[in-house]
């Protein structure tokens, strides 16, 4: 161990305030939130803002309420909205970002200007972006009027107020769907492990998959979360929000990909050319594989942004548009408009768990490779 010189003690002393602040504001507050989520604080409106509210421990009741309670259908629709939003948002940003980066990589004239144009939405706040796009997506306005500029008929798509949806499923089937998805993933893991000759992993994965499938066949169909069927799907009201989000964030993936493309040594491209690779082959076999770590990185960053997104939705759809809402917005409204703190804390905790699934492996991986280097 390195000796603790005076200077190193100073280093620790300098870091201490930050460590304490992060300890309180991140870890202690998270602990508090989880604790609050297990109480009934605010479930009785009369007690919510009392000076010394009577707070009782209720265990997981708030979570049960959110996933199965009659009144919390909004939250369940929001979870589904977030899922679809995340998928389309990431796909959109990656597609547009990669496309722009590939074009800019051809070194057009005025590259700086093009880059500036594609990146400027990043400097705006989601509130500004949301305000602008809300205006553009008015029922008889901007985007819907665009066809008339070319002599066509105005479109009548209900951008932010549509109640139509596709890919609907009954919430009651959620355990079944989850079991099927997890089971399928486990089967893939088992097959892979078998191919790599890892016996233990093959057996464990296969056994878990078998258990899940047995459960799904015999017990799952009889599990009913709700008394009545409750359909959720991809609401068309989310489409406009997804477009605005891609408009704002795709410049970010472009910047990431461009940095990656510029980091690929020219010799590699030339070697591929010498070997007789066509342009398409060079991208397929040389460039894209080298960009895959960037894709993963971007997916994680965009994924955690999309799980947290709240202000864009607030500015575009408003607080009361259930068809186009997300849990992060619901948490704010539940806690600070309705003063149902425990329920809000439960939503906050669920968000944290979702984000942690994405971020913790990522951070762990980043630091493992970094320590490997040094």
Partner 1 sequence: MTAVPQSTVSAAQARRAGGIGRAVTYLLLVVAAFFFLIPIYLVFATALKTPDSIVLATAWHWPAQLNWASFSEAWDKVGGNMLNSLFLAVTATILSALLGSLNGYALSKWRFRGANTLFALMLFGMFIPYQAVLIPLFQFIKALGLYGSIWGLILAHVVYGIPITTLIFRNFYADVPDALVEAATIDGAGFWEIYARVIFPISIPGFVVVIIWQFTQVWNEFLFAATLTNTGSQPVTYALSQLAGGQAVSWNLPMAGAILAALPTLLVYIVLGRYFVRGLLAGSVKG
Taking CB under 8 A as the criterion, the residue among 168, 262, 271, 275 binding partner 1 is: 262
Q: Binding to partner 1 by residue 288, rule CB under 8 A?
A: no
Tokens 């008889």 belong to: 140
Q: Which residues pair with 169 in a beta bridge?
A: 232
Stretch that binds partner 1, among 184-192, 221-229, 230-238, 297-305 (CB under 8 A): 297-305
**349 belongs to the binding site for partner 1 (CB under 8 A):** yes
Does 310 contact partner 1 by CB under 8 A?
yes
Crossing angle for the helix pair 126-136 and 237-263, nearest 10 degrees? Answer: 130
Nearer to partner 1, 212 or 244 (CB): 244
Cβ neighbours for 246, distance < 8 A, ≥ 6 positions apart: 89, 92, 93, 96
Q: How far apart are CA 320 and CA 318, in angstroms?
A: 6
Select the residue interacting with partner 1 from 125, 281, 292, 338 (CB under 8 A). Answer: 125
Rounded CA separation 14/29 (Å)? 23
The whole-angstrom separation of Cα 291 and Cα 272 is 16
Q: How many CA atoms lie within 13 A of 92 on its CB side?
A: 20
Report, in Å, the least distance between residue 104 CB and partner 1.
8
* Binders in 32-61 for partner 1, by CB under 8 A: 32-33, 36
Cα–Cα dist 17/182, whole Å: 43
What is the distance between the alpha carbons of residues 23 and 25, in angstroms, rounded to a whole number? Answer: 6
Q: What is the CB neighbour count within 10 angstroms for residue 222? A: 6
**From 66-74, 220-228, 229-237, 357-365, span contacting partner 1 (CB under 8 A):** 357-365
> E-assigned strands of the chain?
165-170, 231-235
* Shortest separation between residue 83's beta carbon and partner 1, angstroms: 16
**For the window 82-101, what string marks contact with partner 1 as x by the rule CB under 8 A?**
--------------x--xx-
- The correct pick among 48, 58, 136, 277 for binding partner 1 (CB under 8 A) is 136
Kindly state whether residue 328 participates in binding partner 1, applying the rule CB under 8 A: yes
Distance CA 311, CA 319 (A): 10
Residues 237-256 that bind partner 1 (CB under 8 A): 247, 251-252, 255-256
The distance of closest approach from Cβ of residue 72 to partner 1 in the complex, given in angstroms and rounded to an integer, is 16
Q: Which of 1, 150, 227, 228 binds partner 1 (CB under 8 A)?
A: 1
State the nearest-atom distance from the C-beta of 174 to partner 1, in Å: 22
Of residues 234 and 252, the one with the C-beta less far from partner 1: 252
Cβ proximity to partner 1, 19 vs 185, nearer residue: 19
Cα–Cα distance, 352 to 345 (Å, whole number) = 10
Q: Give yes or no for residue 140 binding partner 1 (CB under 8 A).
A: yes
257 lies in the site for partner 1, by CB under 8 A: no
Spatial CA neighbour of 306 closest among 239, 249, 236, 255: 249
State which residue, 96 or 193, has the beta carbon closest to partner 1: 96
Q: Is 209 in the site for partner 1 (CB under 8 A)?
A: no
Stretch near partner 1 under the rule CB under 8 A, chosen from 62-70, 76-84, 176-184, 314-322: 314-322
What is the rounded CA–CA span in Å between residue 205 and residue 194? Answer: 10
Min dist. Cβ of residue 109 to partner 1 (A): 9
For residues 144 and 365, give the distance between their C-alpha atoms in angstroms, rounded to a whole number: 46
CB of 149 within 8 A of CB of 156? Answer: no
- Asked if 26 interacts with partner 1 (CB under 8 A), we say yes
């Amino acid at each position: 161990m390195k000796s603790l010189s005076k200077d190193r003690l100073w280093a620790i002393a300098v870091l201490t305030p930050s460590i304490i602040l992060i300890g309180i504001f991140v870890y202690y507050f998270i602990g508090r939130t989880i604790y609050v989520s297990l109480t009934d604080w605010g479930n009785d409106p009369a007690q919510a803002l009392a000076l010394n509210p009577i707070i009782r421990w209720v265990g997981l009741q708030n979570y049960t309420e959110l996933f199965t309670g009659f009144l919390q259908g909004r939250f369940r629709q929001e979870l589904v909205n977030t899922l679809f939003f995340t998928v389309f948002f990431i796909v959109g940003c990656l597609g547009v970002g990669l496309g722009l980066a590939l074009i800019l990589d051809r070194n057009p004239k005025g590259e700086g200007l093009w880059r500036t144009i594609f990146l400027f939405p990043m400097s705006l706040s989601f509130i500004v972006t949301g305000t602008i796009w809300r205006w553009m997506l008015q029922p008889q306005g901007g985007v819907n009027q665009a066809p008339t500029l070319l002599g066509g008929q105005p479109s009548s798509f209900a951008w932010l107020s549509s109640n139509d949806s596709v890919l609907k499923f009954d919430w009651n089937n959620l355990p079944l769907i989850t079991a099927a998805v997890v089971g399928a993933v486990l089967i893939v893991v088992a097959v892979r492990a078998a191919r790599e000759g890892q016996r233990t992993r093959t057996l464990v994965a296969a056994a878990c998959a078998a258990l899940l499938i047995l459960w799904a066949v015999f017990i799952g169909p009889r599990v009913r979360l709700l008394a009545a069927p409750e359909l959720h799907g991809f609401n068309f009201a989310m489409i406009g929000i997804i477009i605005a989000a891609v408009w704002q964030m795709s410049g970010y993936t472009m910047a990431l990909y461009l940095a990656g493309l510029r980091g690929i040594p020219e010799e590699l491209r030339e070697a591929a050319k010498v070997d007789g690779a066509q342009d398409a082959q060079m991208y397929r076999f040389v460039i894209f594989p080298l960009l895959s770590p960037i894709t993963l990185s971007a997916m994680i960053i965009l994924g955690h942004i999309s799980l947290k997104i709240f202000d864009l939705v607030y500015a575009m759809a408003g607080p009361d548009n259930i068809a186009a809402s997300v849990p992060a917005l619901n948490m704010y409204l539940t806690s600070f408009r309705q003063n149902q703190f425990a329920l809000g804390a439960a939503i906050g905790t669920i968000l944290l768990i979702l984000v942690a699934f994405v971020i913790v492996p990522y951070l762990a991986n980043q630091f493992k490779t970094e320590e490997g280097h040094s």
